[in-house]
Structure 1
Amino acid sequence: MGPRIQQLAAVLLAAVVVVAAASDKPSKNYQSQWDTVMSILNCKSDSLIPSYICSVISKSRWGWGSDDPNDDEYTPDLLPAPAAGRRRPPVMTSLNLTKYVDPLPRIAKIRGYGIRHGRPVPIKLTIGMYNKTWQFHRDMPPTPVFVYGQSLQTATFPGPTIVARQGVPLAVEWQNHLPDAHILPWDPNVPTANATKGVPTVVHLHGGAHPPEFDGHAFAWFTRDFAENGSTWTRKTYTYPNVQAPGNLWYHDHALGLTRVSLLAGLLAAYVIETLSNGTLPFTVIGSDSSYLSKPVTVSNLVLSPAEIFDVIVDFSRLPTAATEIEMLNSAPYPFPNGTQTDPNLDGKVMKFVVSPKRHLDDMPDNSKVPVHGVPYASVAALPPTTTTRYIVLYENQTAPGNLYINGLRLEDPVTETPKSGTTELWQVINLTGDNHPLHLHIATFQAVKMTKIEGFEDFRTCMRIYNNTATCNLDQHAVGPVVPVPEEEKTWKNAVKLPPEFMTTVVVAFRLVENNQPYPFDATTEPGYVYHCHILDHEDNAMIRPLKLLP
């Protein structure tokens, strides 16, 4: 008997068994009948019966049901068995649902890059796969899904849209938090990731240009907590270089033999690569706070802290001819830099400029121009040598939730910063908090000259919270990380400098007039003295402020 005849005979015999099963009462145990059918069909990887035939026949596994989608006993292909003694719940179909009653959902966005000194920088994200319920229609109950998200609470279907920046690499640690078994049945007759427990997953960025080890190879699957993995799995974290042209991609599960069921379960989401869209109309910065720059600096965006000022020139004549409106946007999360992302429709928009076409009265020549040189202020090198080096440490929640202290002290505690009037000091300001703080000193002018990453940050912060002493906690062994230069547009004498978290910022402080390197023409040593503080207002009010007393 040839293979085709064997297949046909097996199918006919199986059909007889299935029909016989369907004529019985639902209370009968059909597992043995199903086992008989599958044994007859020999539905295994080496079966003579094509896997699609096994899948079709499996519709009658339970021995009852209906092919009519309107029937409340309709049994779709390959639905899992109901619990013993229980009937299958009714299956909703689109024929029974009212159309156009649900608003279009707003899928969450995750920014795939950071902002440092106004420029996009690489970051690392952690995105998990979770099992939860999702309501797909007003009249349907929530149904189990597998979804992507940064937490179980925030996971969505589809998953969050990752917005990456062209040319800025993004690292993502993909975590599997899925249960021991899949929520959908899958065909065991096709090659499938062979985990002994758990749902195998691996993420593929569809359309992405990246090295093979980050491609989400079908054999690079892994289960919950990386307990098991496939033959080509090598790493927990994937790095996407985002070197291709801007465009719309998507990411989804790609585990061997499970792609269709895992995507149907919900493991898919968008990935957008954007380019810098506002670079066609830059800012020309000519000054900051109370000082001009030594020369103009052109930038595409600015990081502006509370109480900070930039003098900028915007040339609207450089707009494309067809453009009539341009918006100033805010992309800074709050607290900066690791807080809540801005809403593009709310705090993400600052103002709109409506550019009018030229009229006949505008034919007069435009003689305005960007100044070639700014006012020459004294450089740091031109100042007298620094007389003192001080270590200023920013804490949060040091003695009570919500408080923010400088050097672990309050405003009413005795003054500890007592520079001599007319001198120059070096302040090493260490930020142990998670926020970027704009530091403001009354009377003084100052400029940041470099920012040094604190290595072993958690150990150093723990020690400082106990001892509040940089020598005891070996600052010299921790302030050895990468040095970040000060942005060109901030290289001037300032009234507020930004202090990034986990960095030691080196600040030159002049207690004199920097225009001419002369002492103040008044007595700056009288009572009640001055203060210095963070200029985020609620931080200042929550004790991130200290006295500053100048001495003769």
Structure 2
Amino acid sequence: MLEKFVDRLPIMPVIQPLMMKNQIPYYDLTMKESMLKLHRDLPPTRVWGYNGLFPGPTFHVFRGQPIRVLWRSALPEKHFLPIDTTVHGADHGAPEVRTVVHLHGGVTPDTSDGYPEAWFTPGFQQVGRYFTNAVYEYPNDQAATNLWYHDHAMGITRLNIYAGLAGMYIVHDEEEQSLWLPDGEFDIPLVLQDRSFRADGSLYYPAEPTPPVEGVDPSVLPDFFGKTNLVNGKVWPYLEVEPRKYRFRILNGANARFYGLSLSNDLPFLQIGTDQGLLEHPVPVTNLLLAPAERADVVIDFSSSAGEEIVMRNGAASPFPQGKLPNPKTTGVVMQFRVKKHLSSPDHSNVPHNLSTYHVMNPVQSNNERNLLLSMRPDEYGRSIHLLNDQLWTDPITEMPRLGDVEIWSLVNVSNATHPIHLHLVKFQILDRQPFDAEVYENEGRIVPTGKRMKPALNEQGWKDTVRANPKEITRIIMKFEPYAGLFVWHCHILEHEDYEMMRPYVVVGKG
């Protein structure tokens, strides 16, 4: 058992542009292997990181100011985690080490979106069929929000992100900066992840599910849940805070673990933003549920807690929601806040009642509605695979919205797990969720609603790019497909599901 709260919370460094080219900031990042101390009592751990860092450096960009990024790989030619070559894209003949970067939540043309088959190998010696350019351009034409960048290579995304390839990307704008929110050293990103370790400090990722799959070794897992929680790359860290307000930009960067966050002294999180920007009004929550890839922008006011030691806890089941609750001594613990007794300077920050102007989309705006099944079936080896609309990655593309169209997607989840569904390119709003009769579906294959449509929680009534589609519910989202035509993807963000067929391409069809 590793001792808790012995390592200070790291703050990821802010990356600066290498140069300006035609008034556009130009960045250069290299994926490298490093040996890093992730806990005081662990030997150094081999990780893969952007510029060798885990998590990678944080981008701070401004709305309307595009940037260009050269993503390079200097990784080894062999992977240090177990590759299942029966997974599409990782089959025999594919290079073991392939990477491609996706800016999650970025409003980005498809040539810079990080399409899973647009991968490249170290030194660009080999490239995937959709590889276009090593230099990606991010327009940043979107409201202030907390995005993240991570690997998206076909068939090994779960392994590359577990190895360390993820980082924060924060967009600012004038509206956000006009507010008196906590800033500077009192504005801190928190990247939550889970990992397991061997005694020698190396990352442990199982090669076989339990029970093993006959004829497949190694085999993809249904889900992966680590035995420790990390924040900003440290196991169970602590953060010294002053008795004042702090802003935390929280990302669930885990492979499959949901986090149900609470504070041991019952302080509320004052949520001010979701995946895609500020909420209209702040929402106090004492239990903050985040699926993999979801983000929450929150303010915690420690002013009444001087001298206390506060633990951030996790109460979410794994798998969610039908699995086991976390062990309160291990995965039920995230980090610790140590509140000092005195301020270093007065706290002039404020969380106003009106944060942002929020336009609510109306279902009557919709040009088209789609019913999309989230289902399961056995593969040729008898493994249960999760599917979108009962289709494999290689099946013909069926979702082809037109540029500028508004669509409603009804995600009908007939499985037993909550799936965090992410769409590239677009932001959306959650309309509602509605339960249906599981027994009727099992026996007759019909979807029969059993209750009213329920509005999302107040802290979900903002712009999103990842939605929790709960089991035996119909989750409706509405979005406008803009501003780019092209080839994109939508998928479950449980990485083991995504890698193993729960991902589909979609095309935004241009006008004319």
TM-score range, shorter chain: 0.3 to 0.5
Bigger helix fraction? 1
Q: Hey, which of these two has a bigger chunk of strand by percent?
A: 2
Max radius of gyration: which structure?
A: 1
TM-score (norm 1): 0.43
> TM-score, normalised to structure 2's length?
0.46
